[in-house]
Amino acid sequence: MASPCWRRRALAAACLGSVLLLLGAALRALRPAFESNAVGTSWLGGKRRSPLQTLYNLDQGPRSALAEVHRQRRELLHRACSRHTRRQRLLRPEDLRHVLVDDARGLLYCYVPKVACTNWKRVLLALNGRGSGDPPSRARRQDAPGRLPSLADFSPAEVNRRLRTYLAFLFVREPFERLASAYRNKLQRPWGAAFQRRFGTDIVRRLRPHPSPDALARGHDVRFAEFLAYLLDPRTRRDGPLNEHWERAHALCHPCRLRYDVVGKFETLAEDAAFVLGLAGAPGLHFPEPPPGARAAARDRAERLFRDISPFYQRRLFGLYKMDFLLFNYSVPSYLRLR
């Protein structure tokens, strides 16, 4: 007799359509870090080792210190996922929107805004200059030049093959530092005018009892506390997912559903980028680095912004971003007053 769990799953699949069933089944099959058929795949007619196979070989031999760091991060993510995630819904194709595809190299990159993602897109486009062995797909033909296709653009079979055989990576950042950076770039700085009109005006209208006509029209003077109140306002998430600049990294990249082979960190951007580029067979490529002192300045700015927030809001905000702290091994910032 069918178990209740199986029935639920079958019902969900019937409701959501066969596309999702296929996708869901493929993702469940991904659990082991390296499938033997994945690493055995001959790559571009055997001329080059795939990045995934290169990583597999690295993990078989005596590991470099860097390879060991990445193995431990993967394990920590895996453990944190099994400890902290409950039963999850099936992924829908649009959940894969942030996973960009580099068919030439065999890479999947989940981009998280405010974590050097523009630089990664540029580097991947540069790498992607070469042709791949694949026939052009629907996705690639439709794609504007200068943009990488997203996994969401492919059919389930094409998605599954790439998930099985490509090296998947993402880059994350200390969640509150990322949030402070998003606030600064999108709501505070003068060149965030489009974001200010789109989100700032909304925030002003919703949260200020007596807004000035100027602020209502331009949304240009949203304070950090107001931004946080907007994030925590139940209405915000009822209206749809958070904007990608402040959405949690786990909600953009689904690291407990998709297998990520490399978890890069903004805090160690240069080393981690070099590690990925080495696996991708482009060790000579230099990843653009932030200017010296920029990281420390960003950290200080985040600390200054959060210090002025009441412990009540700090606690609730930590609750909102907690999964990113747990999954990616970030410790609670020392300036937070959680008790």
Kindly report the number of other CB atoms within 10 A of residue 128's CB atom.
18
Looking at 72-80, 84-92, 127-135, 168-176, which segment touches ligand NAG (CB under 6 A)? 72-80
Using the rule CB under 6 A, which residue among 72, 118, 212, 310 binds ligand NAG? 72
Query: Which residue type does 190 have?
Result: P
Looking at 71-79, 158-166, 178-186, 306-314, which segment touches ligand NAG (CB under 6 A)? 71-79
3-class DSSP assignment, residue 7? helix
* Segment 307 to 336, residues that bind ligand NAG, using CB under 6 A: 329, 331
Using the rule CB under 6 A, which residue among 19, 22, 39, 76 binds ligand NAG? 76
Looking at 68-76, 87-95, 172-180, 293-301, which segment touches ligand NAG (CB under 6 A)? 68-76
Residues 6 or more apart whose CB falls under 8 angstroms from that of 272 comprise: 70, 171, 262, 264, 265
Kindly report the number of other CB atoms within 10 A of residue 48's CB atom.
14
Residue 271 C-beta: closest distance to ligand NAG, Å: 13
Residue 164 vs 295, nearer CB to ligand NAG: 295
For residues 21 and 16, give the distance between their C-alpha atoms in angstroms, rounded to a whole number.
8
For residues 202 and 187, give the distance between their C-alpha atoms in angstroms, rounded to a whole number.
12
Which residues lie across from 100 on neighbouring strands?
A: 109, 150
Residues 6 or more apart whose CB falls under 8 angstroms from that of 338 comprise: 311, 314, 315, 318, 332
173 belongs to the binding site for ligand NAG (CB under 6 A): no
Residue 120 C-beta: closest distance to ligand NAG, Å: 21
Residue 116 C-beta: closest distance to ligand NAG, Å: 19
Residue 329 C-beta: closest distance to ligand NAG, Å: 4
Using the rule CB under 6 A, which residue among 9, 49, 73, 162 binds ligand NAG? 73
**The two three-digit tokens of residue 323, written as one number:** 């999964």
3-class DSSP assignment, residue 174? coil
Residue 232 C-beta: closest distance to ligand NAG, Å: 27
Count of all residues that appear for the chain in the document: 339
| 223 sits in which H/E element | none
Residue 243 vs 329, nearer CB to ligand NAG: 329
Residue 259 C-beta: closest distance to ligand NAG, Å: 17
Question: In the complex, which residues of this chain contact ligand NAG (CB under 6 A)?
Answer: 72-73, 76, 329, 331
